[in-house]
């Protein structure tokens, strides 16, 4: 399916929702459902970019990039479009940066059924307002992603998880750019990437032991808290926190976060500009979606 057919299916009237592989929640129930184009258009290793349909599985993109020693900072499972629409970064955000930095350009379909281009094909681009960032994490409420150009990154030559019972603050202070630091209140796990000798010598200096990554993460809730408040988590239940980032994989849902009424009002105004009839993913309230 090409973009034009995708836009025609979405049309310009009536409620419509979009489905990926339902690994992050799935489409709105009881509403006409469309799916985004699937397939990799091209990989340009020397540009460090890849172009694919938003319905392409993340693992297909990973496999295509692995051939060139590259990857994208999009967490595994589901589709590229689903991952971007939900906007959750992966466990390596500390080292790779947030997922939102990966989307360079997209053609999305707006509430009027038109194909809109946002962003541009190059890694560096400040031409116009950054609608790509608006779409990431918008849960399909402002437009449905059709195709995307993503920034890739080189795969590290070597990676290794380590563990220690030292407190995470002192561990982080001793390391240069770890890829991930996780803490469950007792143990601190560290993922480091790069040259093998550098990884080993950093681990040695910080007295880290080689280990497996932490097992299955608690999945009762995904909390987002200021990283300086992570130490307050002790006693709230079982959790694994991303140190230096502030994401907490918790056994319980996050307590409600207060929303500034001005922010809520801005959200209403953005939604009503982009989707005045509220036809895209009706009923989804991005402010109350975890």
What does 165-188 look like in DSSP terms, one character per residue? SS-HHHHHHH-SS-SEEEE-SS-E
Contacts of 130 (CB under 8 A, 6+ apart): 118, 119
Residue 116 is a binding residue for other proteins (CB under 8 A): yes
Tell me which of 204, 226, 235, 255 binds other proteins, using CB under 8 A: 226
Least distance from other proteins to the Cβ atom of residue 187, Å: 19
Would you say 204 and 210 are in contact if contact means Cβ atoms under 8 Å apart? Answer: no
Residue position matching structure tokens 């693992």: 59
Site string for other proteins, 246-285 (x = CB under 8 A): xx---------x-xx-xx--xx-xx-xxx-----------
Residue 76 is a binding residue for other proteins (CB under 8 A): no
Least distance from other proteins to the Cβ atom of residue 142, Å: 8
Residue 130 is a binding residue for other proteins (CB under 8 A): yes
Residue 69 is a binding residue for other proteins (CB under 8 A): yes
Residues near other proteins (CB under 8 A), total = 83
Site for other proteins in 177-196 (CB under 8 A): 177, 194-196
Least distance from other proteins to the Cβ atom of residue 22, Å: 21
Least distance from other proteins to the Cβ atom of residue 236, Å: 16
Tell me which of 8, 47, 166, 251 binds other proteins, using CB under 8 A: 47
Would you say 283 and 133 are in contact if contact means Cβ atoms under 8 Å apart? Answer: no
Would you say 103 and 150 are in contact if contact means Cβ atoms under 8 Å apart? Answer: yes
Which of residues 21 and 116 has its CB atom nearest to other proteins in the complex? Answer: 116
Residue 3 is a binding residue for other proteins (CB under 8 A): no
Residue 245 is a binding residue for other proteins (CB under 8 A): yes
Region class of 289: left (phi > 0), else alpha (psi between -120 and 50), else beta? beta
| E strands, 29-122, in order | 33-35, 40-44, 49-53, 70-71, 103-109, 115-119
Q: Report the C-alpha gap between 51 and 35 in whole angstroms.
A: 17
């Amino acid at each position: 399916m090409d973009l034009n057919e995708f836009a025609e299916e979405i049309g310009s009237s009536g409620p419509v929702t979009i489905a990926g592989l339902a690994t992050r929640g799935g489409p709105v129930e009881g509403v006409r459902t469309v799916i985004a184009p699937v397939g990799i258009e091209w990989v340009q290793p020397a540009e460090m970019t890849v172009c694919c349909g938003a319905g392409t599985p993340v693992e297909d993109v990973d496999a295509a990039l692995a051939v060139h020693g590259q990857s994208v900072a999009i967490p595994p499972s589901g589709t590229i479009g689903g991952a971007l629409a939900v906007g959750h970064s992966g466990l390596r955000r500390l080292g790779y940066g947030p997922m939102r930095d990966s989307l360079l350009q997209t053609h999305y379909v707006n509430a009027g059924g038109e194909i809109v281009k946002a962003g541009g094909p190059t890694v560096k681009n400040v031409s116009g307002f950054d609608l790509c960032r608006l779409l990431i994490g918008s849960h399909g409420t402002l437009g449905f992603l059709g195709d995307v150009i993503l920034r890739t990154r080189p795969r590290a030559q070597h990676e290794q998880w380590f563990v220690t019972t030292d407190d995470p603050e002192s561990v982080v202070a001793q390391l240069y750019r770890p890829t991930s630091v996780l803490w469950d209140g007792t143990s601190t796990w560290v993922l480091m990437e790069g040259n093998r000798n550098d990884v080993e010598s950093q681990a040695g200096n910080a007295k880290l032991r080689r280990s497996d990554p932490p097992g299955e993460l608690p999945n009762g809730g995904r909390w987002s808290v200021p990283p300086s408040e992570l130490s307050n988590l002790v006693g709230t239940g079982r959790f694994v926190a991303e140190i230096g980032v502030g994401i907490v994989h918790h056994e319980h849902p996050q307590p409600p976060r207060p929303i500034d009424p001005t922010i809520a009002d801005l959200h209403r105004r953005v939604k009503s500009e982009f989707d005045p009839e509220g036809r895209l993913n009706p009923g989804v309230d991005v402010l109350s979606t975890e």
